[in-house]
Amino acid sequence: MRIEHMLSLRADARRPIRVLVVGAGGTGSAITMGLPYLDQALRVWGRFAGLDVVLMDADTVSETNCIRQPFSISDIGLSKATVLVNRINLFWGTNWKAEPRNFDERTFERIQDTSIDLLIGCVDSRAARSTIARSLVKSNNRTAYWLDLGNNAASGQFVLGQPWNARNRRSAERLRTVNELYPEIADVKAGEDPLPSCSAVEALERQEPFINQTLAASALTMLARLLRYGKIEHHGGFFNAATGKVTALPVDPELWRKTRLRNRKMQAKLPTR
């Protein structure tokens, strides 16, 4: 049965929403460049004091990145996170921060903060998703929401969930996270997809343009509705570039149960390694 999810954050016009974005590649950069618009909207609505964002990625800009990501030739060799955050701060007058390092299981300890309101994961490997998932369910972690975005050559998905941790207790209405609904997405035993492309032509062959921007825009639209109205009826979606179709993932505990059951059956049929 479909239900509405009610925002678990208390609206406070004096407090910003604390956001950690992990990954500054195709989707991560698209999400990050869109967050200032959400920041401005929240201030106008008086719901929160905007956003306080940290962007984390250890990668540097390569020549190939300049094809599908918002980087230029002059950025090559520089930290992706630093380039994007500096650009946003200069244009929007924000005071967001860059962390030019990879996310790991000790990240929350290192930054001495286990109470992030929203972690946005834009990573391209099962290992990275697995690390995020394990970190968010530690007994002392109090992250409220985990928004995961991922894609392949011509399709992608975004899923907003509430990690089962010290902040989100067990309940039938708790938004299930991406790895709870689709465990294969964080299964390191399943192997990884091909490595990033090393040429412009190969990059465009492996992934069509605008997939990242479409996913980012859809995810940000969902977040905006949740933060403005305090409720949503869907917590994710799936986009197919070939058909142009976007299918919403409804807030539906029965659907979650059936999805997990179907995935277990599929996993049971796979040959063991």
pLDDT of residue 30: 97
* Partners of 119 in the β-ladder: 20, 146
Angle at 204 between CA 203 and CA 207, to 5 degrees: 85
Q: Which residue has the tokens 């049965």?
A: 1
Of residues 197 and 128, more confidence is placed in 128
- Separation of alpha carbons 273 and 98, rounded Å: 40
The pLDDT-based confidence of 199 (bands split at 50, 70, 90) is very low
Each residue of 129-176: pLDDT tens digit? Answer: 999 999 999 988 999 999 999 998 889 999 999 999 999 988 999 999
d(CA 209, CA 163): 31
Selected residue with higher pLDDT from 253 and 196: 253
Higher pLDDT: 241 or 271? It is: 241
Residue 246 has pLDDT above 70, yes or no: yes
Q: What is the pLDDT of residue 203?
A: 54
pLDDT of residue 187: 82
- Per the listing, tokens 């007058």 go with 93
Structure confidence at residue 195 (pLDDT): 47
Tokens of 257: 């149960």
Q: Which fold has domain 11-269?
A: Rossmann fold (3.40.50)
Q: Dihedrals φ, ψ of 156, to 5°?
A: -170, 175
- DSSP 3-state of 101: coil
